[in-house]
Amino acid sequence: MEILPEKHSRINNRINLFEEIFLTLKSGYSNENLYYASSLFHHYLGSLRYVQQYRAAYGGRTDDEGLVDVTIHYMKENLEKRLTLQELTAQSGYSASHFSMLFKRKTGHSVLEYFNLMKIQEACFLLDSTDMKVNQICYKVGIDDAYYFSRLFNKIMGMSPYAYRKAKKG
């Protein structure tokens, strides 16, 4: 059986399950944490083994929620670009204001604020995992102005990109 990606693949659900398992175990190896992680892992493995059934159980979501997920996926695929609200809402068939309301209801953030959060998350990953210079990273995440990038990074992370890179993690 060949498994192809599709609109209802629910990959974000699997990623969230895996992260929850990881974070549970990271907080300690008590019996309760191990039981909980084991239960989650069982569900995670089931979602991989029974892919068609897992995808078919998608039914509880509205098309509006699916549109938000499609937009978030599009953002992930285009982090290096400067996208406008009009470009991000074009495929939804809704006005920018209506789609923005749907997006905020689902994510808690405006469309462009969420896109900026994704860009800073990617910048953090690049700061942690590469030796790229900050001005290279800002271009890599689609921000042409290094000064604006530093201000945005500081606003979201509470420190400059340089301080973030030097800070001990874990």
Helix, strand or coil, per DSSP, at residue 74: helix
Contact between 10 and 54 under an 8 Å Cβ cutoff? The reply is: yes
Instruction: Name the packing angle between helices 111-129 and 96-107 (round to 10°).
Output: 50
Cβ burial 117-148 (10 Å sphere, 16+ → b, else e): ebbbebbbebbeeeeeebeebbebbbbeebee
pLDDT at res. 1: 55
Q: Grade residue 8 by pLDDT with cuts at 50, 70 and 90.
A: low
- What is the residue-averaged pLDDT of the chain? 86
Domain-by-domain residue ranges, the chain?
A: 11-59, 62-109, 114-166
In angstroms, rounded to a whole number, what is the distance separating the alpha carbons of residues 164 and 5?
Answer: 36
More confident residue, 115 or 44: 115
Tokens of residue 135, six digits: 């001005």
Is it true that domain 62-109 has CATH number 1.10.10? yes
CB atoms within 10 A of CB 8: 14
pLDDT at res. 9: 62
In angstroms, rounded to a whole number, what is the distance separating the alpha carbons of residues 123 and 161?
Answer: 8
Q: Grade residue 151 by pLDDT with cuts at 50, 70 and 90.
A: very high
Q: Which of 58-62, 63-67, 146-150 has the lowest average pLDDT?
A: 58-62
Provide the sign of the torsion angle of the four alpha carbons 21, 23, 26, 29, taken in this order.
negative
CATH code of the region 114-166: 1.10.10.60
More confident residue, 168 or 29: 29
pLDDT at res. 50: 82
114-127 pLDDT tens trace: 999 999 999 999 99
DSSP characters over 76-143 = HHTTTS---HHHHHGGGSS-HHHHHHHHHHHHSS-HHHHHHHHHHHHHHHHHHH----HHHHHHHTT-
Judge whether 62-109 and 114-166 match in fold.
Answer: yes
